[in-house]
Amino acid sequence: MSDLKIVVIGGVAAGPKAAARAKRCNPDAQVTLIEKGEWISYGGCGLPYYLGATVKDLNDLMTTSWDAVRTPEFMKATKDIDTLLGWEATRINRADKTVEVKEVKTGEVKILPYDKLVIATGAENFKPPMENINATGVFGMKTPKDAVDMQNYIKTEGVESAVVIGAGLIGMECAEAFANWGLDVTIIEMQGSIFPQVLDAEMGAVFQNYLEGEDLNFMLNTKVEKILVNEEGKVSGVQTDKGTVDAQLVLVAVGVRPCVQLAVDAGLEVDKAIIINDHCQTSDPDIYAAGDCVMTTNLISGQRVYAPMGSTANRQGRVIGTNITGGDEVHKGVLNTAVCKMFDWSLGATGLSERVAKQLGYDTVTAIVPGPDITHFMPGKKLIMTRLVAGRKTRKIPGVQIVGPGKVDKRIDTMVAALTFGATVDDLANMDLSYAPPLSSAMENLTNAANVMKNTIEGKAHDMRYEEFKSKLDSDDVVFVDLRTAHERAQKAIPAKHQLHIPIEELRARANEVPKDKEVVVFCILSTRGFEGQLILNNAGYDNVKFVQGGIQFWPLDK
């Protein structure tokens, strides 16, 4: 295969990875990388951090681990890959196995023969059909140019306020970047919670409550009807179905659409994105595809999903590089794993959300368990909230979400491994997780969440979800029993109409003070005492007792 000709279309993530891997597997292969933009192999997920000036130099997003900038010259010198930068692939001729490419600046056309072809054309920002969507001061975030242009606009146009349309990962990360510039930021989202594709609504509410404390403003369940401009044609705000919001900059972050026209014109199988098998082959066995332009498989549901993530693109690119040079590797699919850090909090999720699991027909049980990220007696401990979903009968775990100021990513990665191999709550409860007081707890958060889930499935724990808890605060038929200390009560009150203060240490002796003709809801900070209180009252003859799932520390009770 010394004369193997490989053409790779797309130079951001999957394409360069496939090209580099192919050369490592077959140094004699002739590899040509085509990229219509101005940059290759850049860290697109780092663009919000350049926008917010956390990353100072744009070139830092295009460097190797030893700080060499990836340029066409670098690719040729180190990897023997020919790079056509500023060239666009315009046509694939499968019959004679050629690709037509055109130089963007000059219009010059070349025909490149291939034995194996890789399509890594990525995705583009979706622009909703909205009045003034192309006005000055309206931006998307996809390429380095987007980040540079936005940063320059903020610096030169006296921007004081910004509107972000869309509360997904990119929109929210850019919202933090705008806040770092001192802008007044409003995030507008059509759905009822933030990070709607990552977090269930309850977890989104917890994270939103924190972000509002960082002075971000939110308008949920809100539709932007048009973008407003001034007499100079520059953005002056947005009009929504709930009123107008003034702003001198608007970021449209309502998702991306895969770039598939090249594949469609070539007659490849496409369903929203390019269809590939587990070897990353398209419907043409000599054409492979990867990254944000393809559909992949969800490992839990087994269904095709669109999951545009840089990490997935790189893994798929490596599989392609191996296979087009004679190897045999597979990419089985994804868990839709995502992590994000905003200010001092992080969030993470993997697998199916409860909402999606129910849509797919899963009979689910949910456990929400807060706790410190390291042993409680160690300085520097920070809280996290873990939301575990499991099948009521199968006890298998389809998904987990974690939010809070403590360490999230380590636990999400642990759950990626657990979900990949089909773990049950019993498996998770007995996993030999590491323990040392400065780093973790003897009963790790994931262990606790699994044990709470077991108690729930087995009928020992009777909990109440946050929304139900909130809806009953004014009820005459419910009494709330506060198990916290007097000092803890002074830190955060709940606006319940009927409540008793009985610290957990006194509950056995004072159980007779709790009325038996009402529903009883016991609560504490993190729900540990709540479960204990439920058991104490059950033993004292109270049948209608529940504890507040997750305690009250994280819930935004003032809304």
What is the Cα–Cα distance from 478 to 493, expressed in whole angstroms? 17
- pTM of this prediction exceeds 0.75: yes
Tell me, yes or no, whether 17 and 96 share the same domain.
Answer: yes
Binning pLDDT at 50, 70 and 90, where does residue 281 land? very high
CA dist., res. 91 & res. 83, Å (int): 18
Residue span of the structural domain in which 47 resides: 5-123+257-323
Q: Are 285 and 158 in contact (CB under 8 A)?
A: no
What long-range pairs does 132-137 form, CB within 8 A, spacing at least 24? Answer: 132/226, 132/227, 132/228, 132/229, 132/235, 133/227, 133/252, 135/227, 135/229, 135/233, 135/234, 135/235, 136/229, 136/232, 136/233, 136/234, 136/235, 137/234, 137/235, 137/248, 137/249, 137/250
Percent of the chain with pLDDT strictly greater than 70: 99
Q: d(Cα 193, Cα 166) in Å, to the nearest integer?
A: 11
Q: Mean pLDDT, to the nearest integer, of 476-497?
A: 95
Query: Residues 232, 263: one domain?
Result: no
The CATH number covering residue 515 comes to: 3.40.250.10
- Tell me: do 160 and 224 sit in the same domain: yes
Domain count, the chain: 4
Specify whether 481 is located in the same domain as 432.
no
pLDDT band, residue 557 (cuts 50/70/90) = confident
Shortest CA distance to 138 belongs to which of 112, 116, 159, 115?
A: 159
Among the candidates 457, 482, 507, a domain finishes at 457
Specify whether the backbone of 270 is left (phi greater than 0), alpha (psi in -120 to 50) or beta: beta
Does the active-site annotation cover 45? yes
Amino acid identity at 107: G
Say yes or no: 235 and 246 in one domain: yes
Inter-residue contact 408 to 346 (CB < 8 Å)? yes
Task: Return d(Cα 258, Cα 95) in angstroms, integer.
Answer: 25
pLDDT at 2: 61
Residue 227 lies in a domain: yes
- Residue 149 sits in a domain whose CATH number is 3.50.50.60
Domain boundary among 201, 236, 254: 254
Instruction: Name the strands in the sheet holding 338-342, side by side, starting at the edge strand that comes first in the sequence.
Output: 338-342, 345-351, 399-404, 383-391, 364-372
Confidence of residue 65 (pLDDT cuts 50, 70, 90): confident
Q: Which pLDDT band, with edges at 50, 70 and 90, does 400 fall under? A: very high
Q: Identify whether 27 is part of a domain.
A: yes
For residues 44-51, give the mean pLDDT. 94
Residues of the chain with pLDDT > 90, as a percent, come to 98
- pLDDT of 232 > 70? The answer is yes
pLDDT at 1 over 60: no
Average pLDDT over residues 1-13: 90
Task: Please identify which of the residues 45, 174, 280, 340 carries the catalytic annotation.
Answer: 45
Q: Are residues 342 and 491 in the same domain?
A: no
For residue 33, give the DSSP letter: E
- Phi, psi values for residue 191, rounded to 5°: -85, 175
pLDDT at 414 over 90: yes
Q: pLDDT tens, 165-212?
A: 999 999 999 999 999 999 999 999 999 999 999 999 999 999 999 999
